[in-house]
């Protein structure tokens, strides 16, 4: 009989299924607010929070954010000033 290990959230993910979380700071919907009490925001869901939005989403729904969209890399579009 195989023994299963448990954690606070239930079964531990095995090596084939690692828990990946969305990094809100790399999401196009994430923004930093001017509100000291709620410095993190999500435009897709429409809220501000004290913690990174994905933590709030996971705490309330039990799942990672499904609206994560990778930011486009604009490094190629940036023009650096040249001194003449």
pLDDT for 59: 93
CA 42 to CA 33: how far, in whole Å?
A: 10
Phi and psi at residue 37, to the nearest 5°: -75, -30
- Band (pLDDT 50/70/90 cuts) for residue 7 is very low
Residue 40 per-residue DSSP state? E
Neighbouring C-beta atoms of residue 41, cutoff 10 Å? 18
Mean pLDDT for 47-69 is 92
């Amino acid at each position: 009989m195989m023994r299963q290990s448990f954690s606070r959230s239930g079964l531990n993910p095995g090596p084939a299924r690692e828990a990946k979380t969305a990094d809100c700071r790399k999401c196009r919907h994430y923004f930093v607010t001017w509100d000291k009490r709620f410095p993190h925001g999500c435009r897709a869901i429409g809220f501000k929070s004290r913690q990174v939005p994905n933590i709030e989403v996971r705490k309330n729904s039990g799942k990672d954010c499904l609206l994560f969209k990778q930011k486009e890399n604009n490094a190629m579009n940036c023009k650096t000033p040249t001194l003449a």
